[in-house]
Amino acid sequence: MPRWGRWLSVAAPVLLLGCCAVIPSIGDRLVFPAPRDGDWAAHERAPYPIDEVAFNAADGVTLVSWHLRVERPRCTVLYFHGNGNNVTARLDMLLSLAKLDADVLALDYRGYGRSEGTPSEEGLYQDAKAAYDYLLAQGVPASRIVVFGESLGGGPAVDLASKHPCAGLILQSTFTSIHDVARARVPILPVHWLLKPNFDNLSKIASVAAPKLFIATKRDEVVPYAQTRRLFDTAAASKTWREFDNCGHNDLFWIHRREWAQAIGKFLDEVAP
């Protein structure tokens, strides 16, 4: 065998093993950028009391979240943010929910904000359950918990609502699966091979018995509109569809804040009167 052939016979398996070790970590960083920075004093200036609370997931990871309380809440919205945010970036959204007479528990996943640990698909499922259990321990009945998942947050939201009772489920710009998003956005390359997390929402959504509100934008440049619509079509009754135009994935709330709040307020009137 030529010298280069002998070198290749040794180097190729090493390179392959190295790729197998590195690719999953690259995929995790793509799905979970896990920002830590933010205006952590912002909640102290809010017009509603917001407590920074901590509780543990089943594996012992400490999660730090914001718990907003109104004077006479009709329900508690358990809010799961997108992959590029932590709770500090969604304060305006939390305040809009509070104006609908809802308490809000905004979870920061492991690795995000001030929460400990490293994010993963299974880890986010554990985090969602820990937040749910925290609310139960605070005396909030399951019949008054409305689960809200935005973008990536739809993954833990759908998983939680498919396994545990709740008053309702709100999904905003949520995908059928992470792999489906990768295939849709980069169809000529097998980018989904890089992505260990998947969040297969499509296989779970039919198991959600609670009423559901789906919010989407036709011009979503991150999560294809068709995927959110397919989730809606697959979901069991009762379900409501609300779509917006002239906005993208990240500015839907900012451009249509008033109509967004009206849609959610109408849904809360039905599930938590």
The structural domains of the chain, with segments of one domain joined by +, span: 32-271
Q: Would the CA dihedral through 182, 183, 185, 188 be positive or negative?
A: positive
Nearest to 77 by CA among 175, 170, 216, 208: 170
Q: Count the alpha carbons within 13 Å of 237 in the hemisphere toward its beta carbon.
A: 0
CA distance 109 to 120: 9
H or E, element range at 147: strand 145-150
57-102 tens-digit pLDDT: 999 999 999 999 999 999 999 999 998 889 999 999 999 999 999 9
pLDDT of residue 41: 85
Residue 249 annotated as catalytic: yes
CA distance 153 to 109: 10
Residue of 151, 180, 192, 256 marked catalytic: 151
CATH assignment of 32-271? Answer: 3.40.50.1820
Does pLDDT of 109 surpass 90? yes
Q: Bridge partners of 207?
A: none
Does pLDDT of 241 surpass 70? yes
Contact 239, 211 (CB under 8 A): yes
Does pLDDT of 12 surpass 90? no
Least confident of 11-25, 73-87, 132-146, 182-196: 11-25
pLDDT of residue 185: 64
Mean of the per-residue pLDDT values of the chain: 87
pLDDT of residue 198: 79
Residue of 43, 67, 249, 256 marked catalytic: 249
Residue 151 annotated as catalytic: yes
Does pLDDT of 239 surpass 90? yes
pLDDT of residue 175: 94
Residue 173 annotated as catalytic: no
